[in-house]
Chains A and B, each alone.
Chain A
Amino acid sequence: MSDILTVVFRTFMSHTGLKTDLAADPPPPAATTRSALVVGDHSVSRSVLLLAAVTAASHLGLRVMFFTRTQIQSLPASLQKCVPSLSPESLKVQVTPLPNCGTVEELLHQIASLHESTNTSPTPPSLIIVDRLEGFLRGHSELHPGEQSCAAHLSALLCDTAAFLTQVLEKRPSSSGPCRVIASFRSQEDAGQAGGEASATDPVLDILDRYFQVRCTLDQDRGYEAAAAGLQQVWNIYLSGRGIADASDTKDCEDRPAEAQEWQLLIYPDGLMEFKVV
């Protein structure tokens, strides 16, 4: 599922400048991986999720469902620059706010019910996004009994739902499949280190890695170069996981270059975000 994320990174690449015509890029290649987990600081990962949602809806014409516990009050500056009139209300994205009291049970029920609309809705969603899984899994407390099992249930349900919707989409004449899943997660270690590298020792992250094919790790670069360049923040982005290995294997067979696995995200003082291949 790194395909949508890669489209986002390429759309907002720094060497070409910001593209104002989101329809100018070719569509992504057929997806071989369908689930990605964005791990790291939640405000940056939320911006990446919003970029992915709007890019998929506007640029690729996909139906997107965005599940979040918090209202979307503002959009990343990069999106506002591309489409000045864009507001959270005018997104071509079906945002399902599950307010602060939103529980994991509520999210499970919402995801589990998505198949019901396939009988009536003309287009099932092709991209399901869940903002801040840890908020659903941990609720208001740090520890939740059966947290790992709950993380597995939610991840498995997301993947199984995406697999089912992919079958439905592929039967439609104007297929917009496969259905993909992107979720964000901030590990306890990451939260403790305020943006440090996510540790693989978080037991919940270990579980999520079983189900999500690609992990997109956001790691803040706190070196002097970022400050010297007048940037507000620099984030290193690493794509890893079996989905990346599978994609590389396929591309090797087809004698095509492997997908970039490392990117850099530059955030300017005015909030603009640009991506750069490393």
Chain B
Amino acid sequence: MRSRLPAVAEQLFRDIQKTYEDTSQIPDDLLIALKFVFGPCALQALDLVDQRSVTCLSSSSGRKAFQVIGGSGHLYTCFVSCHYCPCPAFAYTVLRRNEGLLCKHILAVYLCQAIGVTQQESVSDQQMSTLLSGTVAP
């Protein structure tokens, strides 16, 4: 994702990426930092990472989007270039109360990208349009 994050969060993802490349794990100090910056959704996001819940969808036009399988099995489509998730936590905590930077699904996308465990899947252009619009196919 290329969306604007606070510098501390961007640095944290860079540190996680570099450390994971060297050691194939995320050390405790970075996990604590993750919890400090993102609050309780950090642990939930790490659960999603463990379950390999993040898939990068691509269509033949070149358009990409992330799809995250939530804890309840729901599928959430998140955008590549800006922060949006159709989950209730994003609507309430991030948009309405302005109390969090991200929801656990978007955080899981960042973490999966950082440690390189994002699944890949191809979809048709029409399927991509339907997923992006969040509507049923006409």
Residues of A that sit less than 8 Å from B by CB: 105, 108-109, 111-113, 115-116, 118-119, 146, 148-149, 152-153, 155-157, 159-160, 163-164, 167-168, 203, 207, 210-211
The 10 tightest CB contacts between A and B, nearest first, are: A156-B84, A112-B133, A112-B132, A163-B81, A149-B91, A160-B79, A108-B133, A115-B63, A113-B129, A115-B61
Partner of A119, one of B61, B95, B133: B61
Q: A156-B83, A160-B81, A207-B95 are in contact. Are A119 and B135 (CB under 8 A)?
A: no
Q: A105-B135, A113-B129, A119-B125 are in contact. Are A159 and B82 (CB under 8 A)?
A: yes
Which secondary structure dominates where chain A touches chain B? helix
Q: A116-B125, A148-B95, A152-B95 are in contact. Are A167 and B86 (CB under 8 A)?
A: no
In contact, A109 and B135 (Cβ under 8 angstroms):
yes
Residues of B that sit less than 8 Å from A by CB: 2, 59-63, 79-84, 86, 90-91, 95-96, 125-126, 128-130, 132-135, 138
Which secondary structure dominates where chain B touches chain A? loop
In contact, A146 and B91 (Cβ under 8 angstroms):
yes
Jot down 11 A-B pairs with beta carbons below 8 A, ordered by A: A105-B133, A115-B125, A116-B126, A118-B62, A152-B91, A155-B84, A156-B79, A156-B83, A157-B133, A163-B81, A167-B62
CA gap between A124 and B37 in the complex, in Å: 39
Q: From residue B69, how far is it (CB to closest CB) to chain A in Å?
A: 19
Task: Determine the chain A residues whose CB is within 8 A of the CB of B96 once the complex forms.
Answer: 148, 203
Residue with the greatest number of chain B CB neighbours at <10 A, chosen from A113, A167, A207: A113
Task: Determine the chain A residues whose CB is within 8 A of the CB of B62 once the complex forms.
Answer: 115, 118, 164, 167-168
In contact, A163 and B2 (Cβ under 8 angstroms):
yes
Partner of A115, one of B2, B81, B128, B134: B128
Partner of A153, one of B59, B63, B130, B134: B134
Question: Looking across the interface, which residue of chain B has its beta carbon closest to that of A167?
Answer: B62
CA gap between A164 and B81 in the complex, in Å: 8
Partner of A163, one of B80, B84, B125, B129: B80
In contact, A211 and B82 (Cβ under 8 angstroms):
yes
Q: A116-B126, A119-B125, A157-B133 are in contact. Are A164 and B63 (CB under 8 A)?
A: yes
Q: A115-B59, A148-B96, A149-B91 are in contact. Are A156 and B82 (CB under 8 A)?
A: yes
Q: From residue B6, how far is it (CB to closest CB) to chain A in Å?
A: 13
Q: From residue A167, how far is it (CB to closest CB) to chain B in Å?
A: 7
CA gap between A116 and B82 in the complex, in Å: 20
